[in-house]
Amino acid sequence: MNIPEEIRIVEIGPRDGFQSIKTWLPTEHKTAIVKMLLSAGVDSMEATSFISPKAIEQMKDASEVVESVKGHADMDRIYALVPNAKGAERAHEAGVGRIAVVISASEAHNLNNVRRTPEESLQELKIIRREFPSLKVKLSLGTAFGCPFQGEVADSKLIFLIDGVLDLGITDIALCDTVGVADPLQVIRRVGLLQRRYAAQDVDWGMHLHNTRGLAAANTFAALTLGINKFETAVGGLGGCPFAPGSSGNMATEDLLFMAARMGLASKADIGSVIRTAEYIRDVVGLPIDSKINTQTRDTVTAAQGRADQARRPSS
């Protein structure tokens, strides 16, 4: 096993967590949550999405959310998801320097999600790179482990898209289990195959794991054994793709932090602060959360954090 000594957290709750909620969430709640999570020390964050309000009304205040972050934290930690060149233009105008572009390996899901084939989305990404060269781009490779419409997704579908984005100079790639169908052995086989194929490339692999069938933690551990150390998680286990039937919440950020602490793996994020953010979402915003680590297990959390801190101290 090649388990890393430290994990990196890409917090996606403010984007993936809120996009499927039908009831309008006031902008002040969104901005408070973004600031709380940044203060908690997450490495980076998908703070919002510049998607058409006609598609997802919840994201119509994307510019206001971004504006609230300026001056509060290093903007280099902030991503915004964009579906197309128009979204990239709006993100750029709002002052975002990093964007995430979703392209699904499954043609059926990509058509349902952004009304384009994967090939057409790749052409759109080329336009984004040409029109906004200063934007740093992450590929969120959707349905990387299975599709709600087509079932299994062939390795060749992923390889086609990865080859395409690498040709554009994009090396930040998140492998997304969009509907939570992956299993640990599949993660080891597929991610291992991609690592070997692109060993000569400086790819920064990330994992985006939904917990639809309760396997997010097991799949996270499988990825850890391959040396993957970047995980996209959502505070409170929020999340779900509104364009993918059966998609539900993500791996909870606080659960991953607890798991890492128990294993002696370091993280910049403070688990207590993340738990308090989940409590704010539950008690103030009024959203149900789905995480195993909460106020009832605070003593266990503290002990695990102490263990992780001890593991990071150099021996005398």
> Would residue 241 show up in a list of annotated catalytic residues for this protein?
yes
pLDDT of residue 276: 94
C-alpha–C-alpha distance, residues 181 and 161, integer Å: 20
For the chain, the domains span 8-312
Residue 246 dihedral angles phi and psi, to the nearest 5° = 90, -5
Q: Are 75 and 53 in contact (CB under 8 A)?
A: no
CATH topology of domain 8-312: TIM Barrel (3.20.20)
Share of the chain above pLDDT 70, in %: 90
C-alpha–C-alpha distance, residues 51 and 84, integer Å: 8
Average pLDDT score over the chain: 91
Amino acid of residue 84:
N
Query: What's the rounded mean pLDDT across residues 109-134?
Result: 93
C-alpha–C-alpha distance, residues 308 and 122, integer Å: 41
24-47 pLDDT, tens digit each: 999 999 999 999 999 999 999 999
Residue 7 — very low, low, confident or very high, per pLDDT cuts 50/70/90? very high
122-146 pLDDT, tens digit each: 999 999 999 999 999 999 999 999 9
pLDDT of residue 315: 44
280-294 pLDDT, tens digit each: 999 999 998 889 887
User: Buried b vs exposed e over 81-95: b needs ≥16 C-beta within 10 Å?
Assistant: bbbbbebbbbbbebe
Among 45, 81, 241, 293, which one carries the catalytic annotation?
Answer: 241
228-280 pLDDT, tens digit each: 999 999 999 998 655 444 446 899 999 999 999 999 999 999 999 999 999 99
Picking from 212, 254, 205, 211, the residue whose alpha carbon sits closest to that of residue 231 is 205
Please tell me the pTM assigned to this model: 0.91
pLDDT of residue 316: 39
139-168 pLDDT, tens digit each: 999 999 998 888 899 999 999 999 999 999
Could you report how far apart the first and last alpha carbons of the chain are, in Å? 27
Cβ-in-10-Å burial (0-12, 13-18, 19+) of 315 comes to: exposed
Query: What's the rounded mean pLDDT across residues 177-194?
Result: 96
Picking from 28, 42, 16, the residue whose alpha carbon sits closest to that of residue 273 is 42
